[in-house]
Amino acid sequence: MPQRVNFIQQSPELFKKFMEFVTATKESAIEEPIRNLVNVRAAQMNGCSFCLDMHLKQAKIAGERELRLYHLAAWRDSTLFIPRERAALAWTEVLTKIPELGVSEDTYERVRTQLSEKEISDLTFLVMSANSWNRINVAFKTVPGSSDTNLGLDKAGLN
């Protein structure tokens, strides 16, 4: 199925501003391996096949172990993630599917034991970015793999 709307062509100024925001999240206090895990997990939760495909390839290119990517959907039961990664994934999940009563103090305190206030703030912006991408790509049915060559993702060897 072809993409519904080419949002880059239809809203070039908004896209440009959004890309500036996305680029800024890459320069945050959150290290690349955790950014990759967060982006993959948000895409899994939101059912965004384009973003899931892209972020899995990015993570593999960056050196992430495949088994950890396979375990990501069940990270709570896996022994492959360190406490800092678990905190980031918990924060990602609670902000992606915000509970009716919001983020509990218990959840915040568990995350706070692993991340500084600056890191929690930066992580929150990263989760916002991931969820925004997921929403636009789900809405317009962006085809997974359609930007691989432009983004250098063909290097992942997952075609």
**What share of the chain in percent tops pLDDT 90?**
84
Q: Check residue 53 and give its pLDDT.
A: 96
- Can you tell me the mean pLDDT for 125-145? 94
Cβ–Cβ < 8 Å for 143, 48: no
- Can you tell me the mean pLDDT for 90-114? 96
- Can you tell me the mean pLDDT for 86-115? 97
More confident residue, 11 or 151: 11
**What share of the chain in percent tops pLDDT 70?**
99
Compute φ and ψ for 141, nearest 5 degrees: 50, 50
pLDDT of 55 higher than 90? yes
Helix, strand, coil percentages for the chain (3-state, nearest 5): 70, 0, 30
Both structure tokens of 136 = 């636009």
Q: Check residue 149 and give its pLDDT.
A: 83
User: CA-to-CA distance for 86 and 110, rounded, in angstroms?
Assistant: 10
Q: pLDDT grade, residue 159 (50/70/90)?
A: low
> DSSP secondary-structure letter at 135?
H
pTM above 0.85, yes or no: yes
Concatenated DSSP letters of 35-100: HHHHHHHHHHHHT-HHHHHHHHHHHHHTT--HHHHHHGGGGGG-SSS-HHHHHHHHHHHHHHS--T
Q: pLDDT grade, residue 2 (50/70/90)?
A: confident
The full set of domains in the chain, from first to last, is: 11-141 (1.20.1290.10)
Per-residue model confidence as pLDDT tens digits over 8-49: 899 999 999 999 999 999 999 999 999 999 999 999 999 999
